[in-house]
């Protein structure tokens, strides 16, 4: 499973800690997709706004939006496993 093209979207209040947790393999749900590269993040001062954005990015339209926002990255062939947290 490792190395599959996959995008992860998640909310966190501590990006550095959460990214390290995922890359350490301690997260069961993402362990098969190691290693991760951080290619995009957004920061919000309000937790409700951040969670709303996370929910949006998990929809089909939201995934399409992310791919359009990052189209140059994806066109360059950098389609290894990725982590795109959205949070405060």
What does pTM read for this prediction? 0.75
**Matching residue, tokens 């189209």:** 71
Q: Which residues pair with 82 in a beta bridge?
A: 7, 37
Torsion angle in degrees (nearest 10) through CA of 2, 12, 15, 59? 50
Using DSSP, state whether 43 is helix, strand or coil: strand
Question: Which pLDDT score, from 0 to 100, does residue 6 have?
Answer: 77
Domain positions in the chain = 7-87
Using DSSP, state whether 9 is helix, strand or coil: strand
- The predicted-structure confidence for 67-77, as pLDDT tens digits, reads as follows 999 999 888 87
User: What span, in angstroms and rounded, lies between the C-alpha atoms of 57 and 2?
Assistant: 23
- The predicted-structure confidence for 13-62, as pLDDT tens digits, reads as follows 999 999 999 999 998 988 988 888 899 999 999 999 999 999 999 999 99
């Amino acid at each position: 499973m490792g190395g599959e093209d996959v995008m992860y979207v998640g909310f966190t209040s501590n990006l550095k800690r959460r990214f390290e947790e995922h890359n350490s393999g301690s997260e069961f749900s993402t362990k098969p997709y190691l290693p991760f590269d951080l290619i995009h993040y957004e920061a919000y001062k309000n937790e409700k706004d951040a969670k709303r954005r996370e929910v949006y990015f998990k929809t089909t339209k939201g995934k399409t939006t992310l791919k359009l926002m990052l189209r140059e990255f994806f066109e360059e062939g950098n389609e290894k496993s990725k982590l795109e947290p959205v949070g405060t």
